Amino acid sequence: DVVMTQTPPSLSVAIGQSVSISCKSSQSLVHSDGKTYLNWLLQNPGQSPKRLIYQVSNLGSGVPDRFSGTGSEKDFTLKISRVEAEDLGVYHCVQATHVPLTFGSGTKLEIK
Amino acid sequence: QVQLQQSGAELAKPGTSVKLSCKASGYTFTSYYIYWVKQRPGQGLEWIGYIYPGNGGTYYSEKFKGKATFTADTSSSTAYMLLGSLTPEDSAYYFCARSRYFDYWGQGVMVTVSS
């Protein structure tokens, strides 16, 4: 199974700051169809996850452009520019290139 | 608008089964995979597998083979997951989500296994 190593496990940031979360995979996430199926999710407290980014860098519908995703092969980053209060929660990366799909261990974002 | 509506919380005894539902609306049910995800309280997300309602094809993560069984009723646009031989380790939230892009999620359902 592909191991997704997500760091840091937690972050505490002030409103308006920028932060980055890393996700590294144990195998290349480039699919045989040429696409890279790496998604980023946000789970606000007490809520189900919601999709932020798909295929590394594509912003989901309705997601603010403060969120951006970069990376390739085995190394991926989610950046949040100008953090807002509504951004608190747990961020998850998930690879959907290989079965079984696997998730990172999560990054808990707290607001100072 | 696309929605995935899951059934209500379940309290079950060890050794029994529960059948969870995920009712889809706002899109063509048979055109998208439904993925199932487990989350124990305070823990990370774990992929169980998927069903493709278009042809009933399924895939189970190795860990959940024999534990979970997926079905889909195209007449009601509802996907189901049967969890059998329940143990306390099956106590968790279970989510359904649409496709490998996880673009839509159900609200989740809490399953509690206790005698």
Per the listing, tokens 């045989």 go with A32
Query: Can you spell out the DSSP letters for B27-81?
Result: S-GGGS-EEEEEE-TTS-EEEEEEEETTTTEEEE-GGGBTTEEEEEETTTTEEEE
pLDDT band at B13; cut points 50, 70, 90? very high
In degrees and rounded to multiples of 5, residue A86 shows phi and psi of: -70, -5
Specify the pLDDT at position B81.
Answer: 98
Q: Output the pLDDT for position B30.
A: 98
DSSP state of B97: E
Chain-chain contact of A101 with B44 (C-beta, under 8 angstroms): no
Between the alpha carbon of residue B90 and those of residues A6, B66, B115, the distances in Å are: 25, 13, 13
Summarised one tens digit per residue, pLDDT across range B49-95 is 999 999 999 999 999 999 999 999 999 999 999 999 999 999 999 99
B108 contacts in A (CB within 8 Å)? Answer: 48
Nearest residue, CB atoms, A54 vs list B95, B101, B105: B101
Binned at pLDDT 50, 70 and 90, residue A76 comes out as very high
Which residues 34-73 on chain B approach chain A with CB closer than 8 angstroms? 35, 44-47, 49, 59, 61-62
Q: For residues A34 and A27, what is the distance between their CA atoms, to the nearest angstrom?
A: 15
User: According to the model, what pLDDT value does residue A15 have?
Assistant: 97
Cross-chain residue pair B45–A106, CB shorter than 8 Å: yes
Chain position carrying tokens 């159900």: B106
Residues in CB range of B42: below 8 A, 6 or more apart: none
B64: chain A residues, CB-CB within 8 Å: none
Q: How close B113 gets to chain A, by Cα (Å)? A: 20
What's the pLDDT at B57?
Answer: 97
Say how far apart CA A38 and CA A20 lie, in whole Å.
16
Q: Are A83 and A38 in contact (CB under 8 A)?
A: no
What percent of chain B shows pLDDT beyond 70? 100
CB contact under 8 A, B106 and A48: yes
A17-67 pLDDT, tens digit each? 999 999 999 999 999 999 999 999 999 999 999 999 999 999 999 999 999
Print the SS3 string covering A83-94: CCHHHCEEEEEE
